[in-house]
Structure 1
């Protein structure tokens, strides 16, 4: 074997070892949380705690379902996430296409205004949103519909900005060729553009789901009562301190909360890495 090949193998081995080390370091917090969730003692930071221990127990997970309403929290978060996903994509997809393809007066000004609104700190708008939702003929405080409206308004703007950039990369010639072949405007959108925009739609949908699943400020402000808790609000209520609470219970709940998003991400990963060229060939 030549010196050049040996040097190349050594370099490749060192790089692989480096990246494996980085992966292991980033996984340490997850291993730590798993170890805490399987621990029988509430000794998170004491000298007695060990990252790898033999006395593994699943009692903390069982206790979550016996003594806490984590199942109801899952249901609340799922309803909010799915409803927000449907409404936000239903608004942002046609709006993004309109901003990308239709030239109308004030288009740039409106789009810049949306960007400014999206950059506005959420916490500063809390009082105004509360006044709007708590007064008037329909009171939306402490209702799922109210939260869905807030989440949709927030994430629809993000979806418009994200997908408009993707629609801009789709050549107009693709639409013109479809129309020459006899496709109507509706068919061009549904059978040509949407398949091409599939990666962007999936990424946007993932971001919407993650945002709603982890959102905390609005959920505790506009929803009261343990029966209305989302997973984020429920996790906050499980936090332990020096005098009360259980860190193993909290770690178990945090891991269970992260599993659905992880599964969805793994299922959508192959679509997230596909690009415009692949979509064009498949179409």
Structure 2
């Protein structure tokens, strides 16, 4: 089951109510949970979602793509040459980047050749961990576009140019459905983001209580409330540095270091 961005509050509200009222089960988006499932399922999904980083989309993308990307939790920003059109949030200073092509695929190959500049810039960017080229048109659509030009381009020319892209390390992925494309982008980003060890540490560090659902070991309910008030969410607490944790009243250097080590 996938958690949508912005729905964490719904999960917490339903879980709080279910635990407080000692309901045997509760439902969310068609899935049924028992109270015994909360520790294993609720925390793994909610806890990981809180520390999951937020991806970005370039503001020059199509309005339709920008609107769709917001459903996937993307932030609209200005990306530079070498950062592609879609960028994951930084993890250990690096990102996953994607260059998307659509109607501009053929012109960028045969006319301004801008695609080569873009891909080379991504490949040389030291902050890019991995990068991909995805075209949101099918192979058949690309061929029809070439044949319908004022001066039709031969099929073998397309094959040779796409072959060159593959030899550069960027074999184009053709996905002609925008939502399928966003699902693929999300998968590529998540596959690199899944830090199993950190997820386990966070799951083990957080426990559930009736009055205060999420709690760190050695941290009182009052301090837990202050942490959430200071950082706004569990994600904020988990991503805080020891220095930032020290800004919370009642958190000493030892406790700050213990919280940081628990989730990092």
TM-score normalised by L of structure 1: 0.27
Q: In terms of Rg, which structure is larger? A: 1
In terms of fraction of residues, the more strand-rich structure is 2
Higher relative contact order (CA 8 A, sep 6+): 1
TM-score by length of 2: 0.28
